Chain A
Amino acid sequence: MSRIFERMRGIYTPVTDIRRKILMEIVSFVLEQRDRKEIGALPFQIIQMGKPLYRCCSYREVSIVRQRIRLALGLPLIEEMDGRSALEDIDSAFSEEKVIDAPLVQVIRAACEKCPEDMVIVTDKCQACMAHPCSIVCPRNAISFPEEKAYIDQEKCIKCMKCVEVCPYAAITRMQRPCAEACGVDAIDSDENGYARIIQEKCVKCGLCIVSCPFAAISDKSEIVQVLYTLSNTQTDVHAIVAPSFVGQFGRKVSPAAVFEGIGKLGFDDVKEVAYGADCDTELLSEKITSIEGFLGTSCCPSWVMTARSYYQEYSDNIAESYTPMVETAKIIKDAQKGAKVVFIGPCVAKKHEALMPEMAPYVDHVITFEELAALFVAFGIDLQKIESSETIQDASALGRGYALAGGVGEAIMETARQKFNINHISFERADTLEDCRKMLNRIAKGEINPDLVEGMACPGGCIGGPGTLSPLRMVTRQVREFAKASSHHYPQCISGLPPEAQQ
């Protein structure tokens, strides 16, 4: 069976909807310059009292929304379960200063339904049949028939799935906790009360649990309010740098140039493709692959890098040390213009985490997702479909723009190594989703595969499958490819920190 995030992918559920409604309301709240004391009224614009849709009562729904609002403001989570109002001390959020800090991804316990961690259960379809092959194939003798249906002793069950496979009625099924199933690094367990708990030391902030929890109990923090304040400060130049996966996120009829122009209308002074930073990385890695011993691992996905480094310390040196395309792009701007601010816009939760690292923090001021960007467009009343832009964007190569897709990073490095250094035989392995990344590294460790180049991506399908995206994968893939073809140059052109226009 396909995995949790693949099953739910592309379906617009109430989980997605509540997240977006909250973002929309908060942005409007700031734009309308409403009195901060009125923030307590916001949950009631989102939840209709007396008509609970998803919980036992609307009071609980309101309480959860208050906690979600707090995280959307970028503030540390206060759980009302602990006896405090989630909307106290919110003043620090209304500033252009960075307020988000670790932990970035958290469980809101009031929203967590404490679903079973992992168990094989017998459903009502069971007929307690004469053949009962389930109990016969069970290697632990865990199945008995006390009443009208089979009973599985959970203490004995080892989840080998043999009973599931043989049942003539397909009456036995495995029930897994969706957040834990989505997590590729086993970072989710339960606390003493049965609520899901994120083990922060293990978590690599990929964000897949956020979009996989069917009860919207896991959330990251947003910088959307601080970005609004940054934009309203006319004294500073604010640059938006946009990840390669932006293409097609706002509908098929919205051109990349229209997205850039829309971002400009929000008040950004300049917009640049992060695919340019990707080009710099391609050049660096295609040169590095000529000299490294063992394999070279890509460095653009922070969740993959964290996973590879912490689970496979012996391969730590194999993962490229280079900055990610986000930081490479931000660096060019910051080096050229002191005092400028940089906001990264991407599909990614892990980039929010990356920008918190002391080494990266000077380059990237804030990080928002495409979903958060869309909330800005909606609140500002900007309809991208109505923008007819005649501008063409030429910040990056075709290969750099391909970084958005699984396999694109490896392709860029291999093609560039071939063209620049005449290296033709690079054996390449790649994986998307952290579970598959770990399988790949295991195979390398066992010597089953022996690649020169290894690409890892945390999200299914690559960055276009990220938790902060808006559009279905297949639609975006086509448009990313078209935009890559439209580039004036196929191979990267990254000349020692100079932006492309300065080279001409």
Chain B
Amino acid sequence: MTSKTKPITVELCAGTNCTFRGAGNLLHVLYSEKQIAPYCDIKESSCFHDLCNHAKNSPIVRINNQIFTNASPEVILDAIFTRIDELGNQQQ
């Protein structure tokens, strides 16, 4: 992999609220999904200005500039794969 930045940035809140509602498990899922690694920068971020509303909307994920609340692995992974597919289409 070159040092060039990857096209998709996934920021996952690793604050205590989001961790309590499954952020750690989600992070583990993202790191385990080897197919997305060449396209994604996965970052653990600090709390997104209490977007989670005291953990009620946790976990919070931001993919490029789009915010996802109550982020579950199936939604986040699908969103990432959709973006990867779009990148492929653009190149053709």
Chain A residues within 8 Å of B, Cβ to Cβ:
10-12, 16-17, 20, 24, 250-254, 262, 374-375, 377-378, 381-386, 470-472, 474-475
Contact = CB atoms under 8 A, between A and B. Distances in A.
A95 B54 CA distance: 26
Given A382-B16, A384-B16, A251 B47 contact: no
A262 B20 CA distance: 14
B40 to A, nearest CB: 17
Given A250-B16, A384-B16, A20 B21 contact: yes
A251 B20 contact: no
Interface in B40-67: 44, 46-47, 54-55
Given A378-B54, A381-B54, A383-B16, A471 B46 contact: no
12 contacts: A12-B21, A12-B26, A17-B21, A251-B24, A254-B14, A377-B16, A378-B16, A383-B17, A384-B16, A386-B47, A472-B25, A475-B28
B76 to A, nearest CB: 12
Contacts of A24: 20, 55
A251 B14 contact: yes
A251 B28 CA distance: 11
Contacts of A375: 20
Nearest to B19: A251
Contacts of A471: 19, 24
Contacts of B19: 250-251, 374, 470-471
Interface residues of B, number: 21
Contacts of A253: 14, 44
B23 interface: yes
B14 A252 contact: yes
Contacts of A262: 16
Contacts of A377: 16, 20
Contact of A10 (B15, B20, B25, B44): B25
Contacts of B21: 12, 17, 20
A252 B20 contact: no
A464 to B, nearest CB: 13
Given A381-B54, A385-B15, A475 B24 contact: yes
Nearest to A374: B20
Contacts of A20: 20-21
A269 to B, nearest CB: 22
Interface of B: 14-17, 19-28, 44, 46-47, 54-55, 72-73
A296 to B, nearest CB: 36
Contact of A472 (B17, B20, B28, B73): B28
Nearest to A258: B16
A26 to B, nearest CB: 14
Nearest to A382: B16
Contacts of B73: 11-12
Given A24-B55, A253-B44, A378-B54, A385 B16 contact: yes
Contacts of B15: 383-386
B24 to A, nearest CB: 5
Nearest to B58: A378
A383 B47 contact: yes
B16 A374 contact: yes
Contacts of A385: 14-16, 46-47
A471 B55 CA distance: 17
A24 B27 CA distance: 22
With most chain B CB atoms within 10 A of its CB, the pick from A374, A375, A378, A471 is A378
A378 B44 contact: no
A472 B22 CA distance: 10
Given A251-B24, A262-B16, 7 more contacts: A12-B72, A377-B20, A378-B17, A383-B17, A383-B47, A472-B24, A475-B28
Nearest to B59: A12
Contacts of B55: 24, 378
A470 B20 CA distance: 7
B84 to A, nearest CB: 23
Contact of A12 (B16, B25, B47): B25
Contacts of B20: 20, 24, 374-375, 377-378, 470
A11 B72 CA distance: 10
Nearest to B47: A383
B44 A252 contact: yes
B28 to A, nearest CB: 4
A10 B73 CA distance: 12
A11 B23 contact: no
B22 A17 contact: yes
A12 to B, nearest CB: 3
With most chain A CB atoms within 10 A of its CB, the pick from B14, B20, B22, B44 is B20
A471 B23 CA distance: 9
